[in-house]
Structure 1
Amino acid sequence: MCDIKNLHDIQDIEDIKRAYYPDKYSKEQWEIIINEFNDNKHLLTDKTELNNFKKRIQHKYKIVITNSNLIKVYNYLKLDDNILKGVITKKKGKSNSGVLVVTVLTSAHPWYYDEEGEKKIAKFSCKHDCAYCPNEPAHEGNNMVPQPRSYLFSEPAVLRANDNDFDAIKQMNARISTLVDIGHIADKLEIIVLGGTWSEYPRHYQDRFITELYYSANVYFDKEKRDMKTLEEEININETAKIHIIGLTLETRPDTITLDEIKNFRRYNCTRIQLGVQHTSNSVLKRINRGHDIECVYEAIKLLKNNCYKVDIHIMPNLPGSSYEIDCKMMDEVLYDERIQVDQYKIYPTAIVPWTKIKKWFESGEYVPYPDTELYALIKNFKIKVQKYKRLNRIIRDIPSNYISGGYSDKCVNMRQLFQNDIKKNGWKCKCIRCREVGSNMVMPENIEMNIEKYRSSDGDEYHISFDSTCEKNYLIGFLRLRINKNQENILPILKDAALIRELHVYANLNNVGNNIENSMQHKGYGKRLIEKAEEISLNEGFKKMAIISGTGVRNYYKKFGYELKDTYMIKNIEKSSCNVM
């Protein structure tokens, strides 16, 4: 058994004890775990061997070991064993997309300073009153804390936000710590901000919340935390921070999207917008008191795409005023109507929950949802038909069943898994990005090919350039979204006469930036080749300038290919250059 004194001198054993489980293990128990793990690590090549190891330790020393404990020991020993790290990492799927997603929520009634400098409390998180949308007040069950509009106290992400007082810094620290503790690399983060309608919060609160997100990432690993700087300073610091924010997603309504609002999004270096669309039928939108029509949605998507944004939308089948036939028409419009071609979908079948108008309609018999069988058929057909350049993020919302009194039954809670089983059983395939991500699967380079799909969207041409495996499962290695927009109206000045790279993503296990791990698809040049192809297409389309909407933490990646930061976008003259690394 190795001597504890010979371990890497990164911290005293008392430090690891205090930092992780101050009351769970004694110093002597930590020494046992570290020594046993160090002596047996070469045997831990799969889950079976890992479980056998944990059982032996439990039997021999009467110590229960979790994977989280072993991750801490792995980091303590400064080990560099990709196979071992994979065996002890929990929930590996959370980083198989190449990034870690961290979701935070805004407060229902935050404090802010108004234009006169007076401190106030916001009266609402969304000024609208859609019939399906819960507005949970303060009550004993939520510790007398009102919840942000549309969200319920016991939803997992909402519970975490409540545990951390809806404080941006606390939420970030807690979520990053959890992911690190189960073995993930906190290097590249996609931040998703939920809660109410972002664009209707006071500007001071918006600025403070986003500044705190960047600050949290920038100082997470610092033992001594410095004071928070300005929004602009924290964003610039993140370019070289240990934790890179490579994407920032904000959730808002289509009727808030204006060029001025997009300018504000750019101040935060927001890179993706989630829009609550809900339905394509104006009669349904009117019935649920949505407050806008479908034409507003078309304009919002066009404005966002023309300014280089990635766009996600929420769709809600089985709403009051709709029917199975109307929803089938909606799903086809979402798939094929060029005015509503977006990048990602969340399909949220209508759930009848407390603190909504539709609950009263349901109880009175005014609203009768169609049955689960039709709902299942509707979404299954959508999943089978969805194009390969789109991502179906969610099929059902993660609402605890105790809230749901109608809309769909308990049998539908795991609908995505039911679809997967059904598709596999019948030999069907889902072509969406989420189902084809290569993740931890290995593909030989000779079995990877570039493919290009062109389609119309919002009066522009979209090119989906991808690297796919040639095997039967058609794994997706990486892709790029290129927009050719020859209509120059309603765009930010920096984007004039520019082709637009709206997204670049290489899928694989998450690697530290600059860390060329052998069995990962990241950092193998696929991103560079996708950019080269996009530049080639843009030149052929008559464009001499390229703009990229880039997350703060990956700006330096694009700089290697000749791009410069100008007015929050990465810009390059592509007329007489290539993206060879300088």
Structure 2
Amino acid sequence: LEGVLRNSEMLAQIPKSRRSEKISELLKIRKMRTLSGIAPIAVMTISGCPHGRCTYCPRGENAAQSYTGYEPASLRGRQNQFDGYSQVKARLDALRQIGHDVEKCELIIMGGTFNSQPREYQRKFVKGCIDAMNRGKSERVEEALKGNENADVRAVGITFETRPDWAKERQVDELLSMGATRVELGVQALSDEIYRRTKRQHTLQDVVDATRILKDSALKVCYHMMPGLYSDEKADLNYFKRLFEDERFRPDMLKIYPCLVLEGTGLYEEWKRGEYEPYDSETAAEIIAKASKYIPPYVRIMRIQRDIPANLIAAGVKHGNLRQMVKSKRKELGIRCRCIRCREMGLRGIGYEGQELELKRIDYRASEGTEIFLSCEHQKVDALAGFLRLRIPNRPHRAELMDAALIRELHVYGRALPIGERGEVQHKGIGAGLLKEAERLAHEEFDYAKIAVISGVGVREYYRKFGYRLEGPYMVRALGKDNVY
């Protein structure tokens, strides 16, 4: 041998028919990738932004706006000429080589303000991504999405990043037509003054409006927040507190990206003149740790830090392990984070014991509607097996959602499994039980005769088993005395 065999090389030599679960788990690399039950597939577009550039925003050579070009997703994009089909195919191949099941994927479309690009480009890009999962070529994005319903690799969710002023009714309708299930908004701060200073060119009211429109369209909402952006510890902690005290906001998920100073930005020039100083790693970790006490159990902290190489950061957080630093700081301060990610059974490494699971419910007002967060939890260790987001909307603009209760998310946690295979946590009837309870509440407590689910195209067959049918981008079902199963 010329060297030590890599795990991927050993896996490649074992026929699928002889790969036991134990062997696959032993040789799997980066298990965290699929422990939440789904394999994430992040792809990069070459999009810009319609308004120009914010003061903190990089634009690397041959990169999308707001990216340096050296993030892992950016590098994969460049290697594949920013082609959707090629990026997804390469990513699926890479995950398979290191032992991951990829039958259930979350497609995450990154780069600039994607939905401000020409409509033809958007639809062609998404079509290419889904075609790669389907292992074929289609004529239109609608055809690709339809084909994915029964593909070997299914998109159980599609995420788009955009700006709050690009998430109005018309733009949301376009995203839904491309299979959107989640939208990530670049909120950064809750301050019109900061928006003016950064040349953001949208307002806090745009954030409020976009959040309501997205939720009333049954979409999941993730906020990108940027501690240290022309603020201090007191202001940032107040922003996090306000996020969940003010019912106009209350996102479902957060990505927390401390502000960084990058060469070539307006902020870099301010920093050189001594007019701005970002948080260092220790300060950022402490502020995020303290902010954790304001995060409700219905929120998932998706990320804490961007994938920007330290050598490109002029000032700011240069440690690559900020999440671990935050975790240590929480322990030091005696703060316990109860966000979804910190309680997932898959990430906690806790096995499933049906008799110890309990159904819990949290009701809260958000964006002019009522949210019911149903969760299936292992009470003794505060671990989450699955959850469902039920929304009683205020004023949905979609015809399919008139007089309907909305299921915005149904998720059962555990490592990603091939479709049809049963595992420790997934596929134990938890999802069906949560769905049944949501239908009962919608009909009996809120007097709805119809319920609609924002279903990833690859999950539509699952809902059909329970009597749902496709109506526009939603799976819908009539509720009533004879229809609550």
Aligned equivalent of 1:398, options 296, 299, 307: 307
Query: Does 1:164 pair with 2:80?
Result: yes
* 1:324 Cα deviation from its structure 2 partner: 2.5
1:488-567 equivalent positions in 2, closer than 5 A: 488=395, 490-517=396-423, 520-539=424-443, 540-567=445-472
1:109-508 equivalent positions in 2, closer than 5 A: 124-136=48-60, 138=61, 146-219=62-135, 226-320=136-230, 322-369=231-278, 373-406=282-315, 408-410=316-318, 412-424=319-331, 428-439=335-346, 440-472=349-381, 474-485=382-393, 487-488=394-395, 490-508=396-414
SS of residue paired to 2:400 = helix
Structure 1 counterpart of 2:164, which letter?
A: P
CA deviation vs aligned residue, 1:514-545 (integer Å, no higher than 9, x gap): 1124xx21111100000011011111111111
Q: Distance in 2 between matches of 1:271 and 1:153?
A: 27
RMSD of aligned alpha carbons: 1.7
Q: Distance in 2 between matches of 1:409 and 1:212?
A: 36
Q: Distance in 1 between matches of 2:22 and 2:371?
A: 39
Structure 2 counterpart of 1:251, which letter?
A: E
* 1:166 Cα deviation from its structure 2 partner: 0.7
Q: Distance in 1 between matches of 2:121 and 2:419?
A: 32
Alpha carbons of 1:211 and 1:186: their partners in 2 closer, same or farther (altered >3 Å)? same
Alpha carbons of 1:530 and 1:366: their partners in 2 closer, same or farther (altered >3 Å)? same
Q: Distance in 2 between matches of 1:77 and 1:347?
A: 40
* 1:248 Cα deviation from its structure 2 partner: 0.3
Q: Distance in 2 between matches of 1:428 and 1:377?
A: 11
Structure 2 counterpart of 1:438, which letter?
A: M
Aligned equivalent of 2:9, options 69, 86, 96: 69
SS of residue paired to 1:480 = strand
Rg (Cα) greater in structure: 1
Q: Distance in 1 between matches of 2:160 and 2:184?
A: 6
Alpha carbons of 1:372 and 1:269: their partners in 2 closer, same or farther (altered >3 Å)? closer
State the partner residue of 1:37.
none
Check conservation: 1:135, 1:149, Cα contact below 8 A. Answer: yes
Check conservation: 2:345, 2:413, Cα contact below 8 A. Answer: yes
Q: Distance in 2 between matches of 1:190 and 1:341?
A: 23
Structure 1 length-normalised TM: 0.80
Q: Distance in 1 between matches of 2:267 and 2:260?
A: 9
State the partner residue of 1:11.
none
Alpha carbons of 1:278 and 1:576: their partners in 2 closer, same or farther (altered >3 Å)? same
Check conservation: 2:289, 2:335, Cα contact below 8 A. Answer: no
Aligned equivalent of 1:93, options 32, 35, 47: 32
* 1:228 Cα deviation from its structure 2 partner: 2.9
Q: Distance in 2 between matches of 1:451 and 1:378?
A: 30
Q: Distance in 2 between matches of 1:66 and 1:441?
A: 29
SS of residue paired to 2:275 = coil
* 1:425 Cα deviation from its structure 2 partner: 5.1
* 1:362 Cα deviation from its structure 2 partner: 0.6
Q: Distance in 2 between matches of 1:385 and 1:329?
A: 10
Gaps of 5+ in 1: 1-60, 109-123, 139-145, 220-225
Check conservation: 1:100, 1:186, Cα contact below 8 A. Answer: yes
Check conservation: 1:126, 1:196, Cα contact below 8 A. Answer: no
State the partner residue of 1:3.
none
Check conservation: 1:387, 1:431, Cα contact below 8 A. Answer: yes
What percentage of aligned pairs have identical amino acids?
35
What is the aligned residue count? 482
* 1:84 Cα deviation from its structure 2 partner: 2.1
Gaps of 5+ in 2: none
Q: Distance in 2 between matches of 1:153 and 1:344?
A: 25
Structure 2 counterpart of 1:205, which letter?
A: Y
Q: Distance in 2 between matches of 1:295 and 1:177?
A: 43
> Relative contact order, CA 8 A, sep 6+: which one is greater?
2
Q: Distance in 2 between matches of 1:365 and 1:239?
A: 55
SS of residue paired to 1:78 = helix
Structure 2 length-normalised TM: 0.96
Alpha carbons of 1:381 and 1:232: their partners in 2 closer, same or farther (altered >3 Å)? same
Structure 1 counterpart of 2:408, which letter?
A: R
* 1:404 Cα deviation from its structure 2 partner: 0.8
Q: Distance in 1 between matches of 2:280 and 2:427?
A: 48
